[in-house]
Structure 1
């Protein structure tokens, strides 16, 4: 359980960082306002992404296990 929670923290951090950076760069271009906009959006996006990953992760694993059932030992 600890590993899964840590993985969700790391994944949500990376995804929030990349996505907010990418979309704020598209909206503002490389400008003096871009780093501040990126940070502002990231601070909002990371907690949201983490909370959603707790729900969406379970759904994604359930779907993946239906498509590719785990091997039986």
Structure 2
């Protein structure tokens, strides 16, 4: 299994990248390519990243357990 420090740093990167891409994508769908979209994207990202990180701590463990169950079969 992966050590805790590596796992937390990986989740920090993964949650940051996912929050960045998801807020950008859905903001673009909602507002289109505009200065308003860029402004809103930065605000959304600042809120979404900590939320995504906290949620990934629980979901990550569950995901690893499910993946282990599937691959053992």
Is TM (by shorter chain) over 0.5? Answer: yes
Number of residues of Structure 1 aligned to a counterpart in Structure 2: 69
Residue among 11, 14, 32 paired with 1:11: 14
Q: Note if 1:42 corresponds to 2:45.
A: yes
Point out where structure 1 has 5 or more consecutive residues left out of the alignment: none
Task: Give the superposed CA RMSD.
Answer: 0.5
Large movers: runs of 4+ above 3 Å: none
| TM-score when normalising by structure 2 | 0.92
| TM-score when normalising by structure 1 | 0.92
Which structure has the greater CA radius of gyration?
1
Cα deviation 1:17-64 (Å, max 9, x = unaligned): 000000000000001101110001101100000000000000000000
Residue among 57, 61, 69 paired with 1:58: 61
